[in-house]
Structure 1
Amino acid sequence: MLPVAVHPGRPPAVRPGPRRDPAPSRLRYRLNRLWLRPSFRRLVNFGVPMLAGILAVWTLAAELDLKARAVLAYENLRSSLIERPSFLITRIDVPGVTPDLAEAIRVAAFVDLPVSSLEVDVGAVRERVEALSAVERASVRALAGGSLEIRAIERIPVVVWRSPDGVMLLDHAGVRVAEIDSRLRRPDLPLIAGEGADAAVPEALALLQDAQPILDRIRGLVRVGERRWDLVLDRDQAILLPETDPLGALRRVMALDAAEEMLSRDVSVVDFRDPARPALRLNEHAQAELARLRKEMKGEDA
């Protein structure tokens, strides 16, 4: 090895080391590439501070029991609003209906008075009122002055139905309005009977409308086999109508009665179940008289 020359008054020469590679390390390169992504920058710039803030608030709330304080403050505010006299409901008004239905509506509303209007679910009250068979539609609202107003459209009974389960009042659509103990409770309404008669109330009303000339003689309509009607009259007379086009058959009967006074004669049954072959059935007195006349005619022929 050659000796290094050292000059007096000058520092010794330092031999240069290996040169540093200017390229970044693999980890630094990946971090730089990750930082170039906008989503990562948003996460670092906004997500991390937000997460830190949430953790700080959560820790503070846990330390100071802020949740319980907030719930207590909310309950106090709610109680102060509910107990205000301006929101207090002390009565239920049901205008425009009969007294019996009004009382039934108050019971069905199931509102324990006095109560705050903020605690009354008007939608649930309306559903309970509309569940009554005598109510078609209802509206509910809280009014100033401490009143809960329930306006109901009452179903109007138009017929009395003698059903297998009892005597019912039905509206124009065949919906049950109420149950009565006797048909004599509503003598002003026409009577229908038979199983399935409630499903054909509109047709029964149309038949009664076309039978106006003999309306005072009609005792009722009987549904037979859930498919056709028998029109029952006084003097033990009956008009048997067909399953199809009963209105047309009844109009023919009315025309015959107007022309020939057929229903004023000794006829017990007018059978129009087959409109192409209508038939008449005489009552017992007429049958006996007819038999007597036939015997007399046979005796004269002999």
Structure 2
Amino acid sequence: MQQISPRRDPAPSRLAYRMERLLLTPAFRRLLWVGVPVFCVSLAVGLYLSDQTRRDALSLMVENVKAKVRDRPEFMVKLMAIDGASPGVAEDIREALPVDFPMSSFDLDLPQMLREVSALDAVAKADLRVRPGGVLQISVQERTPVAIWRNDETLDLLDIEGHRVAPLANRAARPDLPLIAGVGAQKAVEEGVAIMAAAYPLATRLRGLVRVGERRWDVVLDDDQRILLPEIDPVPALEQVLALDEAQDLLARDVVSVDMRNKNRPTVRLGESAADSLRLVRLKELGVD
């Protein structure tokens, strides 16, 4: 009688079933297809670089490749071009950027160089870039001086925002610019320039403006005459004084100052001789000899 062998169970074993389920897991598949190769490569690189001699050789090779790329002719900067700057400012820029040409563009720290140029007093805005042909192009927008600020014993040129543009040796060097003085005058340059423009009819007598208490201005004329302007709306107050002067020659008289700080009650301070004459007139009116 023929012996019949038992039929093989087609169902997978428990271990095979678990392996198949594990292979269907996305995280395990990523680990198998990405993590294992990365680990093997990292292990090989780590073993290779564990030797100091190999590390030194690799570093030397990298430096040689970098040097060959850095020193290629197309990456060399041969000269500097400065646009938009006056000769004096251009010279200041060259002193601030002592670059020895030719130099590789990879060795130029353009952000730091831009900070150095922008830090110059006369520079309002700057732009740096390397042009084709090996030219370091520096484009500059200079500050425009609009006033001279006397601060203690020094003279400085200021722009409309009150930024220092450059020192000034003496007042006669820029007779075209108005003179302002006093603590805090540099913070109100725009207002000071507007007052000076309104005082144009007094240009031949105008000596400058003085900032008082960091709040308001005094207009200073020759013969030490002063127009004391209010803190608010100084230009209309000055125009009122100019109208009085045009109608009655107010400022041509023996007047020490015209106080417009209270616009509702202007005050005129007379000189000594004018005050004495006025006193005599009043005494005569009172019948006193």
| Shorter-chain TM-score above 0.5 | yes
Identity across matched positions, percent: 47
Equivalent position to 2:205, from 217, 225, 229 = 217
Aligned residue number for residue 69 of structure 2: 81
Q: Secondary structure at the match of 2:100?
A: coil
Structure 1 residues 295, 186: CA separation in 2 closer, same or farther (over 3 Å shift)? same
1:259 is aligned to 2:247: yes
Structure 1 residues 195, 45: CA separation in 2 closer, same or farther (over 3 Å shift)? closer
1:1-302 alignment to 2 at 5 Å? 30-56=18-44, 58-59=46-47, 68-164=56-152, 166-297=154-285
Distance in 2 of aligned mates of 1:287 and 1:64: 98
Deviations 1:237-282 (A, max 9, x none): 1100111111121121122222222112221111101000001111
* TM-score normalised by the chain length of structure 1: 0.81
Which shifted more, 286-295 or 190-199? 286-295
Ranges in structure 1 where 5+ consecutive residues have no aligned partner:
1-9, 15-19
Deviation at 1:294, TM superposition (A): 3.9
Which amino acid in structure 2 is aligned with residue 125 of structure 1? Answer: M
Which amino acid in structure 1 is aligned with residue 85 of structure 2? Answer: V
Count the aligned residue pairs: 289
Distance in 2 of aligned mates of 1:52 and 1:145: 47
Which amino acid in structure 2 is aligned with residue 270 of structure 1? Answer: V
Distance in 2 of aligned mates of 1:149 and 1:49: 48
Distance in 1 of aligned mates of 2:101 and 2:149: 38
Distance in 1 of aligned mates of 2:12 and 2:86: 93
Which amino acid in structure 2 is aligned with residue 218 of structure 1? Answer: L
Distance in 2 of aligned mates of 1:250 and 1:47: 82
Deviation at 1:141, TM superposition (A): 2.4
Which shifted more, 216-225 or 96-105? 96-105
Structure 1 residues 188, 86: CA separation in 2 closer, same or farther (over 3 Å shift)? same
Q: Secondary structure at the match of 2:203?
A: helix
Deviation at 1:70, TM superposition (A): 4.7
Distance in 2 of aligned mates of 1:60 and 1:151: 50
Deviations 1:199-243 (A, max 9, x none): 000000111111111122110101110101100111221100111
For the pair shown, which has the larger CA radius of gyration, 1 or 2?
1
Deviation at 1:91, TM superposition (A): 3.3
RMSD of aligned alpha carbons: 3.3
Which amino acid in structure 1 is aligned with residue 213 of structure 2? Answer: G
Distance in 2 of aligned mates of 1:116 and 1:31: 59
Which amino acid in structure 2 is aligned with residue 269 of structure 1? Answer: S
Deviation at 1:296, TM superposition (A): 4.8
Could you tell me whether the CA contact under 8 Å between 1:173 and 1:201 is conserved in 2?
A: yes
Which amino acid in structure 1 is aligned with residue 238 of structure 2? Answer: L
Structure 1 residues 85, 23: CA separation in 2 closer, same or farther (over 3 Å shift)? closer
Deviations 1:57-115 (A, max 9, x none): 55456689765555433322332233334443343332342222111111112423332
Distance in 2 of aligned mates of 1:286 and 1:44: 106
Distance in 1 of aligned mates of 2:263 and 2:40: 91
Q: Secondary structure at the match of 2:224?
A: coil
Could you tell me whether the CA contact under 8 Å between 1:110 and 1:125 is conserved in 2?
A: no
Q: Secondary structure at the match of 2:241?
A: helix
Q: Secondary structure at the match of 1:269?
A: strand
